[in-house]
């Protein structure tokens, strides 16, 4: 069922999204998902979907779409993940150069007072859980490829993010922290945003697993990420929705009218539970917990319709502060996250499910 949907999705929906808007980090997720399916199934047919859409990321002259000279935007560093896959798939030197260009964005990337990469130039001094996934796995892969020993920088950023964003009372991570306390949404004492957004939690969980996979055997600090993952999933699992086996858009607020089992963040959690167990970060029984979450998404939201299957229950987008559109509603409150639209077949949800299905296929 899942594989039929993914083939349909990558053939029809993914190119339509790319034709509509410039390349963004959520498109990297689809490339990562397709590449994972190629490796998990052993079927090279999944390569076609990556190659056929590469022109949306890179122009003929080797320039990368949606990169602006001098811009500091951790979401766009994430493009390096797709560029690396295309480099390895094609051997094209243009992609090799672009991977290094993405890495060099980090050379002078601005940092918060805590030495974390800040989120974007329009969000200075802010650490978002999203950014840990956008930047750190790519950073780690570059260290491995270049034979560099800068692991302490990566691990220090994870540890600081844990300190900045962990809510001990809830056993969950808040979405973001403004180290300068200037943002309207920031708690004046802690700098934290006011709510737990499931997909932000999911970004963090995936980042922990993906960096650990690269770091194990290369630095003794790798086990720090296993400890953080265990703490994070043990905090999240009590909030599981028994009817769907998923997690809520505002993870800790089952009391809120309109709160719903959300696909993308649940799939990210499923991926981390299964991959964490496979890598030995978590006890083996956590693999089954993750598989049950993924099956819950399938049973709840993967719907057969006349033109094929479609995936529902996906938050289209969410963030904090005005953003490029000068919005006034992105206050970080629970009501705000519930006000954001759901979008059928959105890349965040479809791709995260691809990644989780790859882990389910690999087993533990």
> Mean pLDDT throughout 119-137?
97
> Among residues 252, 204, 210, which one has the least CA distance to residue 231?
204
Give me the pLDDT at residue 325, please: 86
Q: Does domain 2-362 have CATH number 3.30.1860.10?
A: no
pLDDT at 200 over 90: yes
Give the pLDDT band of residue 267 (cuts 50, 70, 90). very high
Tell me the C-alpha distance between 273 and 267, whole Å: 10
Residues sharing a CB contact under 8 Å with residue 82, sequence separation 6 or more, in sequence order: 27, 28, 31, 32, 57
Arithmetic mean of pLDDT, 248-259? 98
Cα–Cα dist 32/151, whole Å: 23
Angle between helices 151-165 and 222-236 in degrees, nearest 10: 20
199, 265 Cβ separation under 8 angstroms: yes
Q: What is the pLDDT of residue 10?
A: 98
Nearest to residue 115, comparing CAs of 164, 78, 68, 186? 164
Which helix (DSSP H) or strand (DSSP E) does residue 310 occupy? strand 308-311
Q: Lowest mean pLDDT of 25-34, 104-113, 127-136, 317-326, name the range.
A: 317-326
Mean pLDDT of all residues belonging to the chain: 98
How large is the average pLDDT for residues 94-113? 98
């Amino acid at each position: 069922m899942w594989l039929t949907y993914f083939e349909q999705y990558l053939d029809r929906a993914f190119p339509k999204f790319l034709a509509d808007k410039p390349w963004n980090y959520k498109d990297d997720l689809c490339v990562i998902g397709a590449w994972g399916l190629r490796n998990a199934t052993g079927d090279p047919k999944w390569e076609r979907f990556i190659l056929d859409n590469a022109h949306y990321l890179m122009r003929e002259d080797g320039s990368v779409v949606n990169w602006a000279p001098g811009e500091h935007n951790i979401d766009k560093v994430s493009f390096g993940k797709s560029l690396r896959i295309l480099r390895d798939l094609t051997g094209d030197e243009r992609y090799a150069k672009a991977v290094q260009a993405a890495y060099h964005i980090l050379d002078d990337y601005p940092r918060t007072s805590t030495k974390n990469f800040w989120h974007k130039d329009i969000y200075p001094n802010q650490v978002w859980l999203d950014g840990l996934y956008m930047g750190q796995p790519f950073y780690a892969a570059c260290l491995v490829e270049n034979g560099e020993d800068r692991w302490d920088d990566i691990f220090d950023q994870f540890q600081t993010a844990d300190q900045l964003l962990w809510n001990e009372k809830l056993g969950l991570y808040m979405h973001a922290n403004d180290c300068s306390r200037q943002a309207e949404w920031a708690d004046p004492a802690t700098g934290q945003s006011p709510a737990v957004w499931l997909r932000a939690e999911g970004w963090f969980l995936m980042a922990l697993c993906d960096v650990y996979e690269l770091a194990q055997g290369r630095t003794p600090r790798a086990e720090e990420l296993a400890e953080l993952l265990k703490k994070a999933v043990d905090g999240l699992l009590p909030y599981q929705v028994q009817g769907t086996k998923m997690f809520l858009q505002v993870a800790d607020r089952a009391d809120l009218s309109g709160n719903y089992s959300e696909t993308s963040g649940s799939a990210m959690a499923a991926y981390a539970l299964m991959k964490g167990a496979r890598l030995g970060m978590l006890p083996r029984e956590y693999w089954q917990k993750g598989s049950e979450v993924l099956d819950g998404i399938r049973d709840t939201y993967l719907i057969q319709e006349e033109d094929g299957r479609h995936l529902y229950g996906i938050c289209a987008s969410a963030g904090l502060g005005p953003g490029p559109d000068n919005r006034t509603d992105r206050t970080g409150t629970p009501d705000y996250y519930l006000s954001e639209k759901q979008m059928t077949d959105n890349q965040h949800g479809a791709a995260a499910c691809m990644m989780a299905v790859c882990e389910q296929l690999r087993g533990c």
